[in-house]
Amino acid sequence: MKIGIVCPYSWDVPGGVQFHIRDLAEHLIGLGHEVSVLAPADDETVVPPYVVAAGRAIPVRYNGAVARMNFGFLAAARVRRWLHDGTFDVLHIHEPTTPSLALLSCWAARGPIVATFHTSNPRARLLAAAYPMLQPALEKISARIAVSEYARRTLVEHLGGDAVVIPNGVDVDFFAKAEPKAEWQGQTIGFVGRIDEPRKGLPVLMRALPKILAERPATRLLIAGRGDEEEAVASLPKEMRSRVEFLGMVSDEDKARLLRSVDLYIAPNTGGESFGIILVEAMSAGAPVLASDLDAFAQVLDQGAAGELFANEDEDALASAAVRLLGDPQRLAELRERGAVHVRRFDWLTVAADILAVYETVTDGAASVVATDERPGLRSRFGLARD
């Protein structure tokens, strides 16, 4: 099958959507499919052979963060050229409502289109307000996927229609087989995420850290991610700052080794999460997980059966749970075992098979995807639309 995948966000900036698209593309290629990914990237950016660079991205405020996307006449021309040259059996667009290559592709293409919705934001009134502009593009979508029940709920409430829920995927064995790193072991807790993005929750963890260290002074916090390190520890007493180690941006291999090494992984995110891929990666690596009780996180952690939850933005609750878990090796071992079993449902072997089933549903007897200026009337029902 010839598959075109559209990435809305800059390829060279780490993010959950980009990682999902990368891993899906590589898994599908491994199965023998022909895959091309169109993504924002400078012409000088080194990209994998299956990625087509669509030009420089610019920063845009979106869903509580700054995303790098590209839009405009040049981007539209590159979209049409890619569609024309690709003659794809199916076009898979991620985040089709973003002002990016995704929306441009939706406008430009005709043929079987699958869209994946990642965003979970129940207060996204802007989506509803923009619906008249988005409607012609959304009506072209043949099938809709949401990465979680909460992303599906955002879609249903603000755009109408429905979607099948297929979670983000992870190569579970890649994390499970990683070798721990000795210097990252021994009374360590971990955090992975952008340091200066408030919704990732590092300030909550920093407020909790003095309480954790008061009870367990040998604890170390390992932080992997980009951002202002000095600002991140500014709220900590000076004598405690040595208990925080910044690793900067790490490779996928080192992220897996970090998650294999820590005694406890903490996800203090405060909102704007539709899934929680880092929780799945942590469970895959055998790290016990303590996370804020966001709806999406609770779903990933099987409502607390595969990892523990604390009240969102409550540093006292975070500190209390962390101290209790770090002092209870039996409970940590139980969480590792439960997580290892639960996480298998997110393995790419399962997730990609579900996505391929959607592709096959919409391509059965359909023509290839082509570029067009037409806006054929399609109707959506339960995630599927037909002429």
Give the closest residue to 83 by CA, choosing from 101, 71, 97, 67: 101
- Within this chain, do residues 19 and 138 fall inside the same structural domain, yes or no? yes
What pLDDT is stored for residue 65 in this prediction? Answer: 60
What pLDDT is stored for residue 73 in this prediction? Answer: 83
- Within this chain, do residues 102 and 192 fall inside the same structural domain, yes or no? no
Give me the CATH number covering residue 106. 3.40.50.2000
Which residues, in sequence order, are bridge partners of residue 248? 224
What pLDDT is stored for residue 128 in this prediction? Answer: 52
Q: Which residue range is the domain that position 92 belongs to?
A: 2-169+348-372
pTM tops 0.95: no
Q: CA dist 41 to 37, 59, 241, Å?
A: 11, 13, 37
What pLDDT is stored for residue 300 in this prediction? Answer: 95
139 within a domain of the structure (yes/no): yes
Rounded to 10 degrees, the C-alpha dihedral 68/74/75/78 comes to: -140
What pLDDT is stored for residue 132 in this prediction? Answer: 63
The two structure tokens encoding residue 18: 């980009």
Q: Based on the structure, what is the number of domains in the chain?
A: 2
H-type alpha helices, the chain: 16-30, 73-86, 101-108, 125-138, 149-159, 172-176, 202-215, 229-232, 252-261, 277-284, 295-300, 315-326, 329-342, 348-363
- What's the average pLDDT block by block, 10 residues per block, for the chain (387 residues)? 95 86 96 96 86 81 64 87 95 91 90 90 53 76 92 83 93 97 96 92 97 97 95 93 96 97 98 90 98 94 96 98 98 97 96 97 76 43 40
Rounded CA-CA distance 318/20 in Å is 29
- Within this chain, do residues 184 and 310 fall inside the same structural domain, yes or no? yes
What pLDDT is stored for residue 380 in this prediction? Answer: 36
- Within this chain, do residues 50 and 154 fall inside the same structural domain, yes or no? yes
- Within this chain, do residues 145 and 189 fall inside the same structural domain, yes or no? no
